[in-house]
């Protein structure tokens, strides 16, 4: 049975743990260098090592984004960084720059690479080129129609598509507007989001403004929860959620709902599921260009940030500065609420609220809210539930254990890890002796061997061959158990070693003389675009 993947966005440690606990199969995140979310928290290499180990023991993959365009003077640092990431156990790199692609194939061919959506791969021909180049996965442009996705899926590499989150106004994220207006390049991870700003439409002949000032370039958020089955049928392998700048509660909520939908594709999404996706964050929802949702339905002209959920009109109470809201969606202390009317808005976190009758609430607010509409912008109940998802859930891997202990021999342990069907073994350092009093029993040995609470393993079957009347110190049994656990953990981190004869970083290659570099085979600029050798057969 084909294994599909929920791919979660992570921009902080808190979001990392939230994603895994909520059911993510894989995570994409950025290091401190060369990724398209420069303003996310991102991770140092030591932290990446730690998080990769944590994820692998939970059968979750880690992809690192290196999806910006590189400068020539950054290439040496890039190679050193790539080597560190590979040795940390990162499962794949997501890249855009074709110069970086060349370096990876030349110096680190063991590293799996994914073609970033910024490469603008938008049809089966583009996927075929990526396959020839050695990409194992292609992140399709968000503009690709479902019919073209189906064609592309027949080429070979895995396909990854965005299914939820913010959309970019520009084709496949190739925006130059931020760089032109504010000197902050989106292709260097520093997008200033000019598409979220208000604009006027001006008649170029008369210079008169046409209509109201609105957020004409601001797209709605993508939500394809009801299209998951169609995407899987079209051959998509990885369902990617956008949101490396979002808070952990957002990550947990969206991951959990898409994971639930992935596991129950035959069932329609519940109204509660859709409402919670809207509540955690929305600019209005669109099913995107893949499903022909375009034109006015694609844009959020009136508001470029979180809309919340509409509750209803506000009306005055008999008590001064008290206002009444009637809504079947409910309100409680701790919820966020916003009142909007034309170009005015007021927001607050509800401190005290009085339920007058079912679905009818009264609260205090000093401003005049006559004519305003109330929106719930955050829900305490949902945040609390998301924070519960963010707590670690220990699901141990099942292991069969064989124990052997003979007089004068060291303790021998053999284990069969069922998920990967791999044998590992460990042996003690100190031989056993005849006991002067009561000898070791199987029960006594298992008391030490079963101390696995800090690990992700569980002995579900034990076979013991223990000679009677023997003595062995408890610390020796514990030491042997730790050796076995370390070998079990290695199963989840194992990968091909880098070729020790291949020099990953060459000082000669990165000589300070740019003129001499130009004459060397491996000197590449960030604008390298020679695809001639990958042309059609």
Most distant pair of Cα atoms in the chain: their distance: 106
Residue 517 clears pLDDT 70, i.e. is over it: no
pLDDT category at 379 given cuts 50, 70, 90 is very high
- The predicted pLDDT at position 408 comes to 93
- The predicted pLDDT at position 529 comes to 38
d(CA 221, CA 250): 13
- The predicted pLDDT at position 493 comes to 82
d(CA 302, CA 520): 54
Q: Supply 132's token pair.
A: 């020839």
- The predicted pLDDT at position 33 comes to 65
Q: Supply 471's token pair.
A: 């003595």
Query: Are β-strands 238-241 and 373-378 bridged in parallel, bridged antiparallel, or unpaired?
Result: unpaired
- The predicted pLDDT at position 34 comes to 61
Provide mean pLDDT across the span 38-49.
77
pLDDT category at 522 given cuts 50, 70, 90 is very low
Residue 62 clears pLDDT 90, i.e. is over it: yes
- The predicted pLDDT at position 515 comes to 41
d(CA 179, CA 186): 7
Residue 172 clears pLDDT 80, i.e. is over it: no
Query: Are β-strands 137-139 and 209-214 bridged in parallel, bridged antiparallel, or unpaired?
Result: unpaired
| Poorest-pLDDT segment among 104-118, 194-208, 428-442, 485-499 | 485-499
Average pLDDT taken over every residue of the chain? 86
d(CA 129, CA 120): 12
Backbone angles phi, psi at 528, to 5 degrees: -60, 125
- The predicted pLDDT at position 80 comes to 85
pLDDT category at 527 given cuts 50, 70, 90 is very low
- The predicted pLDDT at position 67 comes to 83
CA-based nearest residue to 224, from 161, 132, 171: 161
The CA-CA-CA angle for residues 146, 149, 154, to 5°, reads 140
509, exposed or middle or buried, with CB in 10 Å at 0-12, 13-18, 19+? middle
Question: What is the torsion angle, in degrees rounded to the nearest 10, for the CA atoms of residue 343, residue 348, residue 352 and residue 353?
Answer: 40
- The predicted pLDDT at position 524 comes to 39
In the numeric block, the tokens 């303790």 are attached to 411
Q: Supply 463's token pair.
A: 């076979």
- The predicted pLDDT at position 265 comes to 75
Provide mean pLDDT across the span 267-293.
91
**DSSP code at position 270:** P
d(CA 491, CA 398): 13
pLDDT category at 270 given cuts 50, 70, 90 is confident
- The predicted pLDDT at position 2 comes to 66
- The predicted pLDDT at position 521 comes to 39
Half-sphere exposure of 63 (CA within 13 A, CB side): 29
Provide mean pLDDT across the span 408-432.
92
Residue 313 clears pLDDT 80, i.e. is over it: yes
Provide mean pLDDT across the span 485-492.
90
| Poorest-pLDDT segment among 68-72, 186-190, 458-462 | 186-190
Express each pLDDT in 432-488 by its tens digit: 999 988 888 888 899 999 898 878 899 989 999 999 999 999 999 999 999 999 999
- The predicted pLDDT at position 463 comes to 93
Contact 306, 345 (CB under 8 A): no
- The predicted pLDDT at position 526 comes to 33
Query: pLDDT: is 137 or 532 the higher one?
Result: 137
Contact 246, 9 (CB under 8 A): yes
d(CA 431, CA 409): 5
Query: Are β-strands 5-10 and 26-30 bridged in parallel, bridged antiparallel, or unpaired?
Result: parallel
CA-based nearest residue to 248, from 29, 4, 49: 29
Q: Supply 288's token pair.
A: 């995107």
- The predicted pLDDT at position 332 comes to 93
Q: How far is CA 486 from the centre of its chain?
A: 27
d(CA 113, CA 64): 10
Half-sphere exposure of 201 (CA within 13 A, CB side): 8
Find all residues with CB under 8 Å of 284, minimum gap 6, and list them.
220, 221, 300, 307
Residue 518 clears pLDDT 60, i.e. is over it: no
- The predicted pLDDT at position 528 comes to 35
- The predicted pLDDT at position 520 comes to 38
Give the chain's length: 537
Provide mean pLDDT across the span 493-510.
63
- For 115-173, give the DSSP string: E-GGG---SHHHHHHHHHHT-SEEE--TT--HHHHHHHHTTSSEEEEEEEE---SSGGG
d(CA 474, CA 478): 6
Helices (H) and strands (E) in the chain, counts: 14, 25
d(CA 162, CA 160): 7
Backbone angles phi, psi at 240, to 5 degrees: -100, 130
d(CA 429, CA 469): 19
pLDDT category at 171 given cuts 50, 70, 90 is confident
Listed in order, strand segments (DSSP E) in 317-432 are 322-326, 336-341, 344-349, 354-357, 360-364, 373-378, 397-405, 412-417, 422-427
pLDDT category at 364 given cuts 50, 70, 90 is very high
């Amino acid at each position: 049975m084909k294994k599909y993947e929920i791919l979660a966005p992570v921009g902080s440690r808190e979001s990392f743990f939230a994603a895994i606990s909520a059911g993510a199969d894989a995570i994409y995140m950025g290091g401190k260098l060369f990724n398209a979310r420069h303003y996310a928290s991102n991770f140092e290499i030591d932290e990446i090592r730690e998080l990769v180990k944590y994820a692998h023991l939970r059968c979750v993959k880690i992809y690192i984004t290196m999806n910006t365009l590189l400068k020539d003077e950054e290439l040496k640092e890039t190679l050193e960084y790539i080597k560190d990431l590979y040795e940390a156990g990162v499962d794949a790199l997501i890249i855009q720059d074709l110069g970086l692609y060349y370096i990876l194939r030349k110096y680190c061919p063991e590293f799996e690479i994914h073609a970033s959506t910024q490469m603008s791969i938008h049809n089966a021909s583009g996927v075929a080129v990526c396959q020839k180049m050695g990409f194992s996965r292609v992140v399709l442009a968000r503009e690709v129609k479902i019919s073209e996705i189906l064609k592309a899926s027949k080429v070979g590499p895995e396909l990854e598509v965005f299914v939820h989150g913010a959309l970019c106004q520009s084709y496949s994220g190739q925006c130059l507007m931020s760089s032109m207006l504010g000197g902050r390049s989106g292709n260097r991870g520093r997008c200033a989001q000019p598409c979220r700003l208000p604009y006027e439409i001006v008649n170029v002949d008369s210079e008169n403004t046409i209509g109201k000032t609105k957020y004409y370039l601001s797209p709605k958020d993508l939500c394809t929860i009801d299209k998951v089955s169609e995407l899987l049928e079209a051959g998509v392998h990885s369902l990617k959620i956008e949101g490396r700048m979002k808070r952990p509660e957002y990550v947990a909520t969206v991951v959990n709902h898409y994971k639930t939908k992935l596991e129950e594709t035959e069932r329609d999404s519940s109204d509660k599921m859709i409402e919670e996706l809207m509540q955690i964050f929305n600019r209005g929802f669109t099913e995107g260009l893949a499903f022909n949702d375009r034109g006015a339905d694609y844009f959020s002209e009136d508001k470029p940030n979180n809309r919340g959920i509409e509750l209803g009109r506000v009306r005055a109470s008999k008590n001064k500065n008290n206002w009444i809201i009637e809504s079947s969606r409910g309100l409680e202390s701790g919820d966020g609420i916003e009142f909007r009317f034309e170009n005015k808005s007021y927001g607050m976190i509800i401190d005290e609220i009085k339920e007058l009758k079912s679905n009818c609430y009264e609260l205090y607010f000093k401003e005049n809210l006559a004519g305003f509409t109330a929106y719930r912008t955050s829900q305490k109940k949902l945040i609390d539930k998301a924070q519960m998802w963010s707590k670690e859930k220990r699901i141990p891997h099942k292991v069969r254990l064989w124990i052997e202990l003979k007089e004068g021999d060291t303790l021998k342990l053999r284990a069969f890890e069922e998920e990967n069907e791999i044998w590992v073994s460990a042996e003690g350092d100190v031989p056993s002796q005849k006991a002067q009093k009561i000898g070791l029993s199987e029960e006594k040995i298992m008391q030490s061997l079963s101390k696995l609470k800090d690990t992700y393993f569980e002995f579900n079957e034990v076979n013991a061959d223990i000679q009677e009347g023997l003595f062995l110190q408890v610390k020796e049994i514990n030491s042997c158990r730790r050796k076995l656990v370390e070998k079990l953990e290695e199963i989840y981190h194992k990968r091909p070693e880098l070729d020790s004869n291949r020099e990953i970083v060459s000082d000669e290659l990165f000589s300070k003389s740019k003129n001499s570099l130009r004459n060397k085979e491996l000197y590449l600029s960030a604008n390298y675009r020679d695809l001639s050798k990958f042309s059609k057969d």
